[in-house]
Amino acid sequence: MKALVFHGPGQHAWENRPEPRIEAPTDVLIAVSAATVCGTDLHIHHGVHPEVPPGTIMGHEAVGRITEIGTDVRNFAVGDRVAVPPITNCGACAACQSGTSAHCSTSGPNGWLLGHSHDGVQAEYARIPFADHSLHLIPDNVTDEIAILTVDAMAAAYEMGVKNGAVSTGDAVVIIGDGPIGLSAVPLARLEGANHVILVGLRPFRLEAALQLGATNVVDASQDDWVERARAVLPERGADVVIEAVGSKEALEAAFDLVAVFGRVANIGVHTEPVLLPIEKLWIKNFTFTSGMLSCTSTPKLLQLIASGSLDASPIITHKIPLDKAVEAYAMAEAADESRATKIILHR
Ligand SMILES: [Zn+2]
Ligand SMILES: [Zn+2]
From the CA of 108, which ligand is nearest?
2
CA distance 235 to 216: 13
The CATH number of the domain covering residues in 2-152+295-347: 3.90.180.10
Amino acid 164: pLDDT = 98
C-alpha distances out from residue 180 to 177, 193, 234, 303, 318, Å: 9, 21, 23, 17, 10
Domain extent listing, the chain: 2-152+295-347, 157-290
Q: Report d(CA 263, CA 287) in Å as an integer.
A: 5
Q: How far is residue 3's CA from residue 15's CA, in Å, rounded to a whole number? A: 6
Ligand having the closest approach to the CA of 115: 1
CATH number, domain 157-290: 3.40.50.720
Nearest one of 215, 218, 258 to 239, comparing CA atoms: 258
**Residue whose C-alpha is closest to residue 250's, from 217, 216, 273, 284:** 273
pLDDT on residue 209: 98
Expressed in angstroms and rounded, the spacing between residue 110 Cα and the centre of ligand 2 is 8
The whole-number pLDDT of residue 97 equals 95
Return the amino acid letter for 104: C
Q: Which ligand number lies closest to the CA of residue 96?
A: 2
Compute how many other C-beta atoms are within 10 angstroms of the C-beta atom of residue 132.
17
Measure 304 CA to ligand 1 centroid, in angstroms: 21
Shortest-distance ligand to the CA of residue 104 = 2
Q: Strand ranges (DSSP E) for the chain?
A: 2-6, 12-16, 28-36, 62-69, 81-84, 125-128, 136-137, 172-176, 196-201, 217-220, 239-244, 259-267, 288-290, 317-322, 343-347
Work out whether strand 172-176 and strand 2-6 pair parallel, antiparallel, or are unpaired. unpaired
> Rounded to the nearest whole angstrom, what is the distance from the C-alpha of residue 173 to the centroid of ligand 1?
23
Walk along the chain (348 residues) and give the pLDDT tens digit of each residue.
999 999 999 999 999 999 999 999 999 999 999 999 999 999 999 999 999 999 999 999 999 999 999 999 999 999 999 999 999 999 999 999 999 999 999 977 889 999 999 999 999 999 999 999 999 999 999 999 999 999 999 999 999 999 999 999 999 999 999 999 999 999 999 999 999 999 999 999 999 999 999 999 999 999 999 999 999 999 999 999 999 999 999 999 999 999 999 999 999 999 989 999 999 999 999 999 999 999 999 999 999 999 999 999 999 999 999 999 999 999 999 999 999 999 999 999
Is residue 288 a contact partner of residue 260, using CB atoms and an 8 Å limit? no
